[in-house]
Structure 1
Amino acid sequence: MPAADSPLAGLRVLLTNDDSMQTAKASNADGPGLYELRRALCAAEADVALLLGFTAHEFAAPGSQGDRSDTELPLLLSALGLDEHRAARFLAERPGAAEGEAITDWLFRAPALAIAEARAECERPTWLYQFDWSGTAPGRTGQAYHCIDLPFAFDLLHAEGVTAALGTEPPQDLADAVHGAWVAFVRDLAPGAAWPPYRDGRATMRWHAEPRPERDPLSSVREIWLGATCPPPLGAARRIV
């Protein structure tokens, strides 16, 4: 177990979806969020199991695609810390992208990848996922938006309000798979043999109609954003168990 004075004292399992963020300090100094947590996780005397992830379109807004001028997105990318070369790569690889895609990377995917990368270096048990399934709710068709994964993780597809949020007939098979992996993680400190840890070739579980782990599917996100001139935003994790 971590030392008694450690921020992780008494903690056995940690899950995070990087749901609470704040921008980095102007001085680029570490704050009380992602970077301090990353160091604590790597320095812990015992392995603290970590499962973290995000949806594919966290910050997507209905009708946002194409609703921008030619200058707005480049200005945003610069404000978020990308130099000219990395911003050009983002724009080339995602023609027609809206601002929400950049914010999704900066606010959710890059911080999670930073933690996964650091923990892989020090061989801490870490599992990463991206939730890709998208529903049919009005205004949200084709989007795996913020928190769409939670009814699946808690196996609550028939709960009140879920149909309005996800659309009709969300796949129960997917809920069984996601919920089963979360339960296994809390119970066994690992989500099961079908989901390899991140240190195994940057394995990332892709949750969609046919779930499967993939090797380094977010290489472009990692290379663009973790090499930015500004660090990713600071993130606060949630303790469970």
Structure 2
Amino acid sequence: MTKQLIGMLLGILSFLSIPEAHAQRPTEFPRTFEIQFNPTSFFNRRPRLRVGFEYQFPKHWGVATTFAWGNETLHDIGIWSGPRLGNNYQYREIRPEIRFYLIRDAGFAGYISFEPHWVRTNSTLIEGRYSDPIEPGVDWLFDRVDYQLEKFGGQLKAGLKFTVFDRFTVGGYVGYLGLTERTVSYDDPVNLRVDDREFPFGRGVWEQVESFRSPGTDLIYDFSIGLQIGYMFIKD
């Protein structure tokens, strides 16, 4: 389903970028300043409140910035929250973005963009396990540990926006061709010991301890998909 959505979105944007498709469209549009809200950020293992702003220039360009913030309360009410990430949970995120609008009409717009990002998650984990980053096959158990995940990277995005009731917007986006440097660290562990438990038939359903990422720094592929709802405070 995700691949089909991405293919359809990129296909629409490719069609809209054909010069003949723009031959009869105006070249000047109103300047707009819009506040945007991403409701899909609640449906996440690390739930957060994500709000952004976008300024659109009269022609093809726009600049946007998105901020996200999460805490223990949001984690507790999140639908897909991780079961052991709630203690002292803090989430912070900044995503500036430069957008180029391939098409921009009164009720519809399609764009491609570049979006760098910085993300940090802190939490106190209770009763978990992580793999040793140096010795393969060695796992560590802990009763309590301070966890931090930090990501810095960038990605290309494609998005669609529909204008309704003159000033409200509804749209979606996918982020692709992205790379992120991810750093995971564990500090001040309590009762850290080697996991020497035996599972004759594999961990499977017998594993009662949640597994977390290994500490260290990795370069990973970055992908995102989401929904945005906006309101244009300025339109002139």
Q: Using structure 2 for the length normalisation, give the TM-score.
A: 0.20
Q: Rg larger in 1 or in 2?
A: 2
Structure with the largest fraction of strand: 2
Higher relative contact order (CA 8 A, sep 6+): 1
